[in-house]
Structures are given as structure tokens and as C-alpha cells.
């Protein structure tokens, strides 16, 4: 699927559970291969974005909300 995205889209927003190691070892090679298939553009013309779940545990209520939000994503 990543190769197809690289062939047809301007970029990819990776899932928050994608670790930097996974992005480097799995996603980037597939992006490169997808881009090369068409031979029309290079890696610098393709955006790869990723975000991670993060929260501050200093406030208990904030922590509980963040945990619920993460659980919702995992359950999905």
C-alpha cells in the first residue's frame, strides 16, 4: 500500500504507532520503490509525516484523558 501511495500522492501521514525504526526499515524503502516505479520524482518531492502520542502525567485528569484517547486508537 505504501508503494501505491508513493506512486499517486504527494505524501504520507504515518500512524502514530509507527516507530522511527519501522519507518526507516519498512516505510522508506517502499516509498523509494514506489517513487522509482514512475521515475517522475524523487524523495525530496514526497512528504512523510508522523506524530506520536504524548502527555504530561503531572495532572491526573489530563493523564486519564490521554490514556483514554490512546485506547480508542488501539481499539479502532
User: What was the pLDDT predicted at 29?
Assistant: 94
Can you give the C-alpha Rg of the chain in angstroms? Answer: 16
DSSP-assigned letters across all residues of 4-57: HHHHH-SEEE--TT--HHHIIIIIHHHHHHHHHHHTS--GGGSEEE-------T
Q: Model pTM? A: 0.67
pLDDT (tens digit per residue) in 2-39: 999 999 999 999 987 788 899 999 999 999 999 998 77
pLDDT (tens digit per residue) in 39-66: 767 778 899 998 776 666 677 777 788 7
Amino acid at each position: 500500500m505504501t508503494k501505491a501511495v508513493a506512486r499517486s500522492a504527494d505524501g504520507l501521514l504515518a500512524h502514530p504507532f509507527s516507530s522511527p525504526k519501522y519507518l526507516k526499515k519498512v516505510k522508506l524503502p517502499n516509498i523509494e520503490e514506489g517513487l522509482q516505479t514512475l521515475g517522475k520524482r524523487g524523495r525530496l518531492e514526497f512528504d512523510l509525516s508522523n506524530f506520536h502520542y504524548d502527555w504530561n502525567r503531572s495532572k491526573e485528569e489530563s493523564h486519564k484523558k490521554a490514556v483514554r484517547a490512546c485506547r480508542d486508537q488501539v481499539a479502532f
